[in-house]
Chains A and B, each alone.
Chain A
Amino acid sequence: MNRGVAIVSFPGSNGDRDAVDAFAESIGVATRLVDYREESLDGFEAVVLPGGFSYGDYLRTGAIARFAPVMTAVQQFALTGGPVLGICNGFQILTEAHLLPGAILPNRDLRFHSEWVHIRVETGETAWSSAAADGEVLTMPVAHGMGNYFADPEILATLEHENRVVFRYCDADGHLTEQANINGSMHAIAGICNQKRNVVGLMPHPERAADPLLGSPDGLRILNAVTSFVGRLV
């Protein structure tokens, strides 16, 4: 059974509908909202943990969501090589669930940032960056108060050594600058992948950049990767 993309709704998720719209309308693949209480992801070909404020971001972003019943199935799905994408709060949940290493701290200036940023694609060799080219600069929005990627030196060294930094904040020309790193992330990290390269998390919102009318279609350079594991609807 090919069920397409599972988009997981936690209580307080608010980017779930945007993800559905981007995948269903802009790319044309089957999607389904999956309730956080469901215990199986059987038949889905990709899983997306969307943005939002799951459980109000109370305690710590993603800290409560990682215990939601559906997360056992997400773990299983990831373990068996299924493509998993965490966007914003979804990225935070993936780090809390230890599907991705490191942690995400409050932004350097302790403020919420809602703005358009540039990110550089560091590697096309992941499940979710295969449609983009190495070194390509993409423009899309961020909207988060906690996006400051942190990891200890060994993890950072491993991530760099294994080429697992997928996206970095940069300026319009692709240069890494202090100003472009809007939240103070270590190594300007905007997104990373796991060792098997099937689980990717990023803070910017590709699903909000899926239509030129809204400012940029660059998010599709990421989301289009879904077509390599999910068939388009006719």
Chain B
Amino acid sequence: MMVTVTQQPMKPEVWRSLALSDAEFSKIVELLGREPTIVELGMFGSMWSEHCGYKHSRPLFPLLPTEADYVVQGPGENAGAIDIGGGLAAVFKVESHNHPSAVEPHQGAATGVGGIVRDIFTMGARPVAILDSLRFGPLDVERNRYLFTNVVAGVGDYGNSLGIPNVGGEVFFDPSFSGNPLVNAMCVGIVPIDELMRARASGTGNVVMIVGAETGRDGLHGATFASVEDPHASHRGVVQVGNPFLEKLLLEACLELLQGDDVVAMQDLGAAGLTSSAVECAARGTAGIEIDVSLVPRREPCLAPFEVMLSESQERMLLVVLPEGVDRVTEVVSRWGLKSARIGTVTETGHVVIREGDVIVCDVPARYFTDECPTYVRPAEEDPTVVAARSRDFGDLPDIDPELVAEVTLGLLGSANIGSRRSVYERYDSTIMTNTVVGPGRGDAAVLRIKGQERGLVVSLDCNSRYCWLDPYAGAQLAVAEALRNVSCAGGRPLAITNCLNFRSPEKPAGSFQLSRAVAGMADACRALGVVVVSGNVSLYNESGNEAIFPTPTIGCVGVIDDVTRHAGLVWSAGDVVLLIGDGPPTLGGSEYLAHAHGETIGAPPMLDLAAEGRVQSAVRGLIASGLVRTAHDVSLGGLAIALAEMAITSAIGIRLDPVDVSSRRDTYWFGERSGSIIIACEPERLSDVTAQLELDSIPWARLGVASGDAIAFSPMDSLDLSAARSRWESALLFDRQSGG
């Protein structure tokens, strides 16, 4: 076999247009001992992109803890998996679709959901929940309203049609996301552990099949495009178009196929399409793979091999099938109304061989695409602007008047970052599959039952980008702490996380600094709090012009609740005693209050004592599991006053706060943000049991007040009417849709 190489030497603009550096091109020539074909070069360009090859982030990964006795599948597969008891595994991952969403928000977001859902059912798991984490520029800019409205519509359209509940997530607004919105989607699936599927080509002579949609020109170079700055400069045609109906059929067909023994491996076609699925399948299995692109079903004529290999047409799946099973697989797939085709075989060469009929257009050892992908550790240096912002003293800002706490609270409730997310989550079906015990807006994390079992799953998705900008190490630690705290506040025991590293260009020292410090912070927080990382995704180059995003390592956390009927949410009952447990000190540093009231992102983020954080989370889980407490909410964005207001509004019952002697600043006490602090409520007759338990666990606590009435009464002279609070909070994200573009 001989590769047909083009006669003329390749020109630098060709490899540069595929986002390969001159040095990388030389390395390819050196590895191959010849110039690559254009197909090979395109495949290297995609596989060695940040999106597929993690060339800037991979050197940091060894820092992250990935091993625990309950880990069934760690990083490196389509998704991670953990043992959740009862013979079941939870399979989950979060992934970004930032660049496509910046260009075509509806389809970008929709196909982001489609991609992450495929990652989950590729593992043989039935997807049971979607969460999404979104970031945009301020809503007073028309383009941002357009992006926000259409991203939410896209996330909704795809998940709703698939029939997978969207149960949680977050939305955050800051000018740094104006040109660079973030769209991260997480999916969680459940599978009996012994039915977990992995994507490893094996068994020489096994048949490689492609199933699902036909291949077109959509999404060419998507992986490369996601790894360069300024998506607007790129072509809109690279954004894929989603067809959730087709994906629903593909999902059911694949899950049915995995019930039999005919399919030995499955790999979805995501970023870099057939290239990455063939390469990854071969590289993980240490086998070779040979594909004839002329056998790939197409939706348009005259596709070159290069295009077939790099198309990112959605809703496609690669299967490795036993030869005697091909007819059965074809029958099942066709019963679901889908197309399938034999396109190749598994070989023992270790090579990825691509041919078009008799012409070989690629013959490269699979590991060249993966193991030989260069990695870079770039010079890192903190941006002096950030150092200056972090050290800014806010002591000279005027404190709020003693009787204006209610008024400031009302103002903050109208902030886009604090207001009700109802206008978002009501676009998403959250009740389908009939497992949603605590859905969006009702608790700090979503609680899902598992049919036929006493236990349940608890899931959250979080990050505070402001903290991460001010201090990436501390910010990433706080992101881990909060994702876990949210799971704990619902009653779940956090077991593992998945992360989505959204950062600016790592080729600039400031970007490299943020990335390396954030990963270090995440690793340290995971170790201290006893969770592992089982999957993740990296999205770099989120900057355009002079604007770079706030670094955003989004953390998705999955936990288990032993008795799903014993969970907690935001709602308290009239007469409940309300306590604050944990004593993370409040600070205005990096707070929503400073950004909202003073237009400043300054100061150091809240201090995090990881040991204290672990203790308070464990305590709240204990109180919920014992049945003493059914109401818990952590103090986060907006501080104590906002956390209380959110609970009061959601419960439709106010609170009469005890007189409090604020020794330091009032704004810091009420609106300062803190770690390791949780508000709980319990019936008065259970108070002594609750406080006894807290003292036994050495958890500091303080009584805040009693749930009652129809106002948040900070003091007899300073009270916020609940209906006014509700209407401000509920309208924070509403705007005239006609002007939304």
Residues of A within 8 A of B (CB): 11-12, 14-15, 17-18, 21-22, 25, 51-53, 55-58, 111-115, 141, 143, 145, 205, 207-208, 210-211, 213-215
Contact = CB atoms under 8 A, between A and B. Distances in A.
A21 B426 contact: no
B160 A143 contact: yes
Given A11-B337, A21-B451, A56 B431 contact: no
Interface in B241-289: 243-246, 248-249
A15 B431 contact: no
B434 A11 contact: no
23 contacts: A11-B337, A15-B163, A18-B433, A25-B451, A51-B432, A53-B163, A56-B161, A56-B246, A58-B245, A112-B426, A112-B427, A112-B428, A113-B426, A114-B429, A114-B431, A143-B160, A143-B429, A207-B434, A208-B431, A208-B434, A213-B449, A214-B434, A214-B437
A8 B435 CA distance: 22
A9 B408 CA distance: 53
Contacts, number: 86
Q: Considering the complex of A and B, which 6 residue pairs feature the smallest CB-CB distances, nearest first?
A: A14-B163, A56-B245, A143-B429, A141-B431, A53-B161, A208-B431
Given A114-B429, A214-B436, 14 more contacts: A11-B249, A11-B336, A12-B161, A12-B249, A22-B434, A52-B163, A53-B160, A55-B245, A56-B246, A112-B427, A114-B427, A210-B434, A214-B449, A215-B431
B465 interface: no
A214 B157 CA distance: 24
A214 B431 CA distance: 9
B110 to A, nearest CB: 12
Contacts of A56: 161, 243-246, 248
Nearest to A54: B245
A112 B156 contact: yes
A111 B369 CA distance: 45
A215 B437 CA distance: 7
Interface in B218-249: 243-246, 248-249
A227 B243 CA distance: 39
B425 interface: yes
B480 interface: no
A114 B244 CA distance: 18
Given A14-B162, A15-B163, A207-B434, A213 B565 contact: yes
Contacts of A143: 160, 429-432
Interface residues of B, number: 31
Contacts of B588: none
Nearest to B427: A112
Contacts of A112: 156-157, 160, 426-429
A18 B163 CA distance: 10
B714 to A, nearest CB: 30
B320 interface: no
A136 to B, nearest CB: 21
B248 A14 contact: yes
Most buried by A among B426, B430, B437: B426
Interface of B is mostly: loop
A14 B162 CA distance: 7
A56 B243 CA distance: 8
A62 to B, nearest CB: 14
A195 to B, nearest CB: 32
B319 to A, nearest CB: 20
A113 B451 CA distance: 26
B496 interface: no
A183 B430 CA distance: 18
A11 B245 contact: yes
Interface string B549-566: 000000000000000110
A157 B337 CA distance: 43
Contacts of A15: 163, 432
A15 B164 CA distance: 10
A115 B436 contact: no
Contacts of B163: 14-15, 52-53
Nearest to B449: A213
A207 B431 CA distance: 10
A140 to B, nearest CB: 9
Interface in B388-442: 425-437
Contacts of A52: 163
Contacts of A57: 161, 245
Interface in B137-165: 156-157, 160-163
B160 to A, nearest CB: 6
B426 A114 contact: yes
A134 to B, nearest CB: 27
Given A11-B337, A57-B161, A207-B434, A213 B564 contact: yes
B427 A111 contact: yes
A141 B425 CA distance: 13
Nearest to B163: A14
A11 B248 CA distance: 8
A230 to B, nearest CB: 20
A14 B248 CA distance: 9
Contact of B432 (A11, A18, A213, A215): A18
Contacts of B431: 114, 141, 143, 205, 208, 214-215
Nearest to A207: B434
A11 B335 CA distance: 10
Contacts of A205: 431
A95 B331 CA distance: 33
B245 A211 contact: no
A19 to B, nearest CB: 10
Interface in B431-486: 431-437, 449, 451
A211 B451 CA distance: 12
B169 to A, nearest CB: 14
Nearest to A55: B245
B565 A115 contact: no
Nearest to A26: B434
A53 B245 contact: yes
A173 B144 CA distance: 40
A223 B20 CA distance: 61
B15 to A, nearest CB: 41
Given A114-B425, A213-B449, A213-B565, A14 B434 contact: no
Most buried by A among B161, B163, B248, B564: B163
Contacts of B248: 11-12, 14, 53, 56
Contacts of A115: 426
A211 B426 contact: no
Most buried by A among B161, B162, B426, B429: B429
Nearest to A210: B434
B84 to A, nearest CB: 18
B591 to A, nearest CB: 32
A14 B431 CA distance: 12
Contact of B434 (A12, A21, A145): A21
Contacts of A215: 431
B333 to A, nearest CB: 13
B283 to A, nearest CB: 35
Contacts of B436: 214
A18 B434 contact: yes
Contacts of A25: 451
Contacts of B161: 12, 14, 53, 56-57
B546 to A, nearest CB: 36
